């Protein structure tokens, strides 16, 4: 028998009307740093904290027993299909700031030791941006049990401010900090309760399934079979969350704090070549960037006109194969490319403003290209645009921007380096490390030369 460290606590239970809520408080806790993994019977002990939380009764819980894992990285649960979710883009807003996230299934796996049992997990990279700058990175570890449920085995979290890690709050590892946690039942039912994170005092989420077989509006039209859930957080606040077949996590939050899936591959993949109009948009933004640099504003204005015409044609001819969220994003970036009084660009002949707007438009175009190309090809092109943004930030003496750009490039390269020539991959990785060293030394001038070398390497990789 394993010895379980017991907490001395007072458990307060309060039944709240017909809801059956349990308010849990650990008034006399001696320690909150207790690793509660499953015991010999497979039952997962629960940890309580000093914080009163209106958690649901254990009779509703479907995650109290640890299942077996014989093929853990084959994650095919339709509501959380990580093995089949190679790349996704989520858009939204947080407290009024523009939010964007990219999730990518990485080529690596990671083995987690859970009480002597080694379980291989898939690694998904979550990259979040606020107002166009890196905000958070999370490396999430998932595995599917033999019964079809999906379990969360931890995450490495890096929260950024001005391109520098501010803290790693939210980081945890199953078997070290606490138990593995169910993130999706095999077949969810109304009233099911489970905890995707279950280390109170560090990370905690409790989810209740409120509705099943719901119809939600997907990137290319209605999606059937979604589930609607309510998630309780450690601060006692609730958040709505929707999961949809083939997509997994579909939307989170509401109002001023909202993240919505805009597109995902392979769910939205199209067996067609890239539309000619998208190529016009992509080539056009590059030409506008170059025209701003050379001061050829007549050409920049003419190209912008051509881009807008191509965009109207694209929306008309491909209205059934285009995410509404991505259309909205593209409209906004084209408006920004023209510019206004507050954010001058082409119309005001503002060089730096036009360059930044052209880069943003290029990134939005890549989202539209995602259904037509391999995710690794899109990430390589994103890598190129972020390298160009680094060059613009360096030339503008924007140290915070440069720092964030190098950080962003480091994480994006992990998505595609395994798909290009190994010697070239080594070279690019080395150049990113050189840039990181220059950022640490605040040597912006020297970084400009290295970025130009990096762009040469990217060009070789694209050939």
Task: Write out the residue range of the structural domain in which residue 396 sits.
Answer: 276-462
Structural domain contains residue 59? no
Claim to verify: residue 140 and residue 286 sit in the same structural domain: no
Closest CA to 130 of 107, 158, 106, 96: 96
Instruction: Scan for tokens 């998208």, then name that residue.
Output: 278
User: 369-389 pLDDT, tens per residue?
Assistant: 999 999 999 999 999 999 999
Claim to verify: residue 178 and residue 317 sit in the same structural domain: no
Residue 27: the pLDDT is 25
Claim to verify: residue 209 and residue 121 sit in the same structural domain: yes
- Span 426-454, average pLDDT: 95
Helix (H, G, I), strand (E, B) or coil at 179: coil
Q: What is the chain's alpha carbon radius of gyration, rounded to the nearest angstrom?
A: 24
Structural domain contains residue 25? no
Claim to verify: residue 293 and residue 208 sit in the same structural domain: no
| pLDDT range class, residue 137, cuts 50, 70, 90 | very high
CA dist., res. 241 & res. 456, Å (int)? 43
Question: Final residue of a domain: which of 207, 239, 265?
Answer: 265
Handedness of CA 411, 412, 415, 416 (dihedral sign): negative
CA dist., res. 243 & res. 267, Å (int)? 14
- Span 426-451, average pLDDT: 95
Residue 201: the pLDDT is 85
Joined tokens for residue 426: 């080594």
Instruction: Assess contact for 45 and 195: CB atoms under 8 A.
Output: no
Structural domain contains residue 75? no
Joined tokens for residue 117: 């049992």
Claim to verify: residue 251 and residue 394 sit in the same structural domain: no
User: 241-278 pLDDT, tens per residue?
Assistant: 999 999 999 999 987 889 999 999 999 999 999 999 99
Structural domain contains residue 32? no
- Largest Cα–Cα distance in the chain? 79
- pLDDT of 352 > 50? The answer is yes
Question: Final residue of a domain: which of 226, 241, 265?
Answer: 265
Residue 34: the pLDDT is 38
Claim to verify: residue 293 and residue 439 sit in the same structural domain: yes
Instruction: Assess contact for 260 and 250: CB atoms under 8 A.
Output: yes
Contacts of 292 (CB under 8 A, 6+ apart): 300, 346, 351, 354, 355, 358
Claim to verify: residue 100 and residue 233 sit in the same structural domain: yes
Mean pLDDT (the chain) is 90
- pLDDT of 447 > 80? The answer is yes
Alpha-carbon dihedral angle through residues 280, 283, 284, 286, given to the nearest 10 degrees: 170
Claim to verify: residue 296 and residue 420 sit in the same structural domain: yes
Q: Domains in the chain: how many in total?
A: 2
Structural domain contains residue 295? yes
Question: Final residue of a domain: which of 242, 265, 288?
Answer: 265
Higher pLDDT, 129 or 463: 129
Structural domain contains residue 427? yes
Alpha-carbon dihedral angle through residues 367, 361, 285, 373, given to the nearest 10 degrees: -10
Instruction: Assess contact for 88 and 265: CB atoms under 8 A.
Output: yes
Claim to verify: residue 187 and residue 111 sit in the same structural domain: yes
Claim to verify: residue 242 and residue 313 sit in the same structural domain: no
Joined tokens for residue 253: 């939050």
CA dist., res. 114 & res. 116, Å (int)? 5
Closest CA to 242 of 267, 220, 223: 223
Claim to verify: residue 102 and residue 162 sit in the same structural domain: yes
Structural domain contains residue 38? no
Percentage of the chain exceeding pLDDT 90: 83
Residue 47: the pLDDT is 66
- Span 434-455, average pLDDT: 94
Residue 102: the pLDDT is 98
Structural domain contains residue 363? yes
Residue 53: the pLDDT is 85
Joined tokens for residue 182: 């169910």
Cα distances from 441 to residues 85, 436, 450, in angstroms, run: 39, 9, 14
Helix (H, G, I), strand (E, B) or coil at 350: coil
- Span 229-237, average pLDDT: 93
Instruction: Scan for tokens 């027993």, then name that residue.
Output: 65
Residue 96: the pLDDT is 87
Closest CA to 119 of 138, 139, 143, 140: 143
Instruction: Assess contact for 357 and 345: CB atoms under 8 A.
Output: yes
Residue 52: the pLDDT is 79
CA dist., res. 366 & res. 315, Å (int)? 15
Residue 6: the pLDDT is 32
CA dist., res. 272 & res. 322, Å (int)? 13
pTM, whole model, 2 decimals? 0.90
Contacts of 248 (CB under 8 A, 6+ apart): 79, 80, 81, 82, 85, 88, 264
Joined tokens for residue 185: 């039942």
Residue 12: the pLDDT is 30
Burial class (CB in 10 A: 0-12, 13-18, 19+), 410: middle
Residue 449: the pLDDT is 94
Claim to verify: residue 310 and residue 404 sit in the same structural domain: yes
User: 29-64 pLDDT, tens per residue?
Assistant: 323 333 444 554 478 877 655 567 899 999 999 999
Burial letters 434-446, b for 16+ CB under 10 A, else e: bbbebbeeeebee
Instruction: Assess contact for 130 and 163: CB atoms under 8 A.
Output: no
User: 302-348 pLDDT, tens per residue?
Assistant: 999 999 999 999 999 998 889 999 999 999 999 999 999 999 999 99
């Amino acid at each position: 028998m394993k010895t379980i460290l017991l907490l001395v606590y007072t458990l307060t239970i309060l039944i709240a009307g017909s809801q059956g809520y349990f308010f849990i408080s650990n008034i006399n806790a001696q320690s909150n740093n207790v690793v509660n993994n499953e015991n010999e019977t497979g039952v997962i002990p629960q940890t309580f904290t000093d914080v009163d939380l209106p958690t649901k009764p254990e009779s509703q819980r479907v995650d109290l027993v640890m299942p077996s894992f014989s093929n853990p990285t084959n994650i095919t649960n339709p509501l959380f299909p990580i093995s089949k979710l190679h790349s996704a883009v989520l858009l939204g807003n947080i407290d009024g700031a523009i939010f964007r996230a990219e999730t990518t299934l990485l080529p690596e796996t990671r083995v987690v030791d859970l009480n002597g049992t080694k379980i291989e997990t898939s690694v998904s990279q979550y990259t979040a941006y606020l107002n166009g700058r890196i905000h958070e990175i999370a490396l999430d570890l998932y595995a599917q049990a033999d019964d079809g449920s999906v379990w969360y085995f931890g995450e490495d979290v890096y929260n950024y401010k001005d391109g520098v890690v501010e803290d790693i709050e939210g980081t945890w590892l199953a078997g070290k900090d606490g138990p593995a946690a169910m993130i999706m039942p095999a077949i969810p039912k109304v009233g099911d309760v489970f905890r995707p994170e279950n280390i109170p005092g560090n990370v905690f989420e409790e989810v209740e399934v409120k509705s099943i077989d719901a119809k939600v509006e997907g990137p290319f039209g209605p999606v059937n079979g979604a589930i609607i859930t309510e998630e309780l957080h450690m601060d006692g606040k609730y958040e709505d969350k929707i999961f949809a077949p083939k997509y997994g996590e579909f939307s989170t939050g509401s109002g001023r704090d909202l993240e919505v899936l805009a597109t995902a591959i392979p769910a939205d993949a199209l067996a067609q070549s890239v539309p000619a109009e998208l190529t016009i948009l992509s080539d056009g933004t590059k030409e506008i960037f170059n025209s701003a640099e050379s001061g050829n504003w007549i050409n920049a204005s003419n190209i912008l006109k051509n881009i807008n015409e191509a965009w109207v044609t694209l929306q008309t001819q491909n209205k059934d194969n285009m995410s509404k969220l991505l259309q909205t994003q593209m409209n906004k970036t084209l408006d920004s490319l023209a510019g206004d009084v507050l954010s001058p660009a082409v119309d005001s002949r503002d060089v730096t403003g036009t360059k930044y707007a052209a880069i943003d438009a290029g990134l939005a175009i890549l989202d539209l290209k995602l259904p037509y190309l391999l995710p690794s090809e899109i990430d390589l092109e994103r890598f190129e645009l972020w390298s160009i943004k680094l060059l613009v930030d360096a030339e503008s003496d924007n140290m915070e921007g440069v720092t964030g750009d190098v950080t962003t490039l480091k994480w994006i390269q992990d998505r595609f380096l395994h798909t290009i020539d190994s010697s070239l991959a080594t070279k690019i990785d080395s150049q990113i490390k050189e840039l990181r060293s220059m950022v640490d030394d605040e040597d912006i001038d020297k970084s400009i030369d290295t970025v130009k070398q990096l762009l040469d390497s990217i060009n070789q990789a694209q050939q």
